[in-house]
Amino acid sequence: MQAALSCLEQCAYDHRDFVERLEGAPCDLARVGQAGVAPVQDFRAPWWQPGGHVQTIWSALCASTRGPCRADVRWQRQRWETPDGDFIDLDVAAPGSAPQAPTHVPTLVLFHGLEGSSASHYALALARVCADRGWRLVVPHFRGCSGEPNRLPRAYHSGDAAELDWILRRLRGQVGGDLLAMGVSLGGNALALWAGQQQEAARDVVRAAAVVCAPLDLMAAGLQLGQGVNRRLYTRMFLRTLVPKALAKWELSPGLFDRTALRRARDLHAFDDIFTGPVHGFAGADDYWRRASAKPWLRQVAVPLLLLNARNDPFVPAASLPARKDVSAAVQLWQPPHGGHVGFSSGAWPAHLLAMPQAVTAWLAQWLEDNKEQSNG
């Protein structure tokens, strides 16, 4: 076994050169609208991570969130009362050892994925990368994802652009430096939807945004998750927490939905048809998936927006990914062949998760006001 591990360590594909090339690669608004190959398109997973399933699961369970990064993650929790009488919890990681970062530093807001949180593997890796950059990271938890049940019957969903708008605008009024946004999976679709619906108004709120592994066509992704190994593995994992949370809401609001039918739900379509759709103003799962999908809005995006999707993502069919014709000139598409669903682990055994957040933050950094002034000077 030791010999096998040594062999893996010697042969694992290391992507530090890829990140270094990205850090030094110039990019301006004209390039964003082009279909040229970006450096991240070269991403290849280690040879011992064959296929999207392995790249997804290994990154979530086994890869290091630290890698060569020395920064520690120290979250400071804040609670905001919402306009509708509920609350959300935000975790803030300030750079350095001080609990509060200087007001002028850039702030990156991360909207997590389905049943994610600040403890998700991608959030921890991103927090360390932000600390190295001297950025503040804010992770707003969608309702019910912070470890404490919310007060109202509503929860969260992929099309909750109004909630994101309230969060981003409130943060814009609080932070003194540039504001950036990033969304992962469900949070990524919601962020892309927000950017498309806001159009030019989004530029008054954030400098730029990045979306990672988002199911921009919810119908295609939902059907994908309801089939084969996806249904047995990932869907079962999601329902293990989604169903108890929904049942707890029924106890607070009896008759909110068909409780017996929910207990029989075996895929996300059934869950969204019984709970997510009706509770949040949709006719059912199909109506929810159609109206909440960000893909039809991508031609309306005016703020610089990066869309990163691995073409072997087991959650998102490659055929459903947007092409150049589907997006505005403000959108840049990165669609590498490898990466899985929010995977992108690289480096020597057991691999680390820094390549993706380093690449994405490098792309976002070019839009910061200080960087723009230096380039103009």
Q: How far is CA 26 from each of CA 21, 31, 212, 367, rounded to the nearest angstrom?
A: 10, 9, 21, 11
Question: Which tens digit of pLDDT belongs to each residue from 286-320?
Answer: 999 999 999 999 999 999 999 999 999 999 999 99
pLDDT of res. 50: 84
Given a contact cutoff of 8 angstroms between Cβ atoms, the answer to whether 87 and 150 are in contact is yes
Burial 233-251 (b: 16+ CB within 10 A, else e): ebbeeebeebbebbeebbe
DSSP bridge partners of 137: 93, 108
- Phi and psi dihedrals of 221, rounded to 5? -70, -40
C-alpha torsion 249→277→238→361, nearest 10 = -110
| Active-site annotation holds for 313 | yes
Distance between CA 302 and CA 330 in Å, rounded? 6
Length of the chain: 377
Instruction: Give the mean model confidence (pLDDT) for residues 223-230.
Output: 94
Mean pLDDT of 8-32: 32
* Band of pLDDT at residue 10, cut at 50, 70 and 90: very low
pLDDT at residue number 55:
86
Compare 243 and 16 and report the one with higher pLDDT: 243
The predicted-structure confidence for 53-88, as pLDDT tens digits, reads as follows: 988 888 888 877 776 665 678 899 999 999 999 999
Q: How many CB atoms lie within 10 A of CB 331?
A: 25
Residue 108 exposure: Cα atoms within 13 Å on the Cβ side: 32
Name all domains of the chain by residue range, CATH numbers in brackets: 55-217+293-372 (3.40.50.1820)
Residue 180 bridge partners (DSSP): 108, 208
Q: Give the predicted TM-score (pTM) of the model.
A: 0.87
| Catalytic hit among 59, 158, 185, 293 | 185
Nearest C-alpha neighbor of 184 from the set 273, 233, 115 = 115
Task: Give the C-alpha separation, 300 to 9, whole Å.
Answer: 46
Among 273, 293, 313, 346, the one annotated catalytic:
313
CA distance 339 to 335: 9
Distance CA 114, CA 145 (A): 9
| Per-residue pLDDT tens digits for 174-217 | 998 999 999 999 999 999 999 999 999 999 999 999 999 999 99
Q: 355, 344 in Cβ contact below 8 A?
A: yes
What's the rounded Cα separation, in Å, for the pair 207 and 15?
Answer: 28
Helices (H) and strands (E) in the chain, counts: 16, 8
**19 pLDDT exceeds 90?**
no
Which tokens belong to 317? 């069919």
pLDDT tens digits, 344-368: 888 888 888 888 999 999 999 999 9
Catalytic hit among 341, 345, 346, 352: 341
- Mean pLDDT, the chain, as a whole number? 86
Estimate to the nearest angstrom the gap between the alpha carbon of 29 and the chain centroid: 23
Cβ burial of 259 (10 Å; 0-12, 13-18, 19+) is: middle
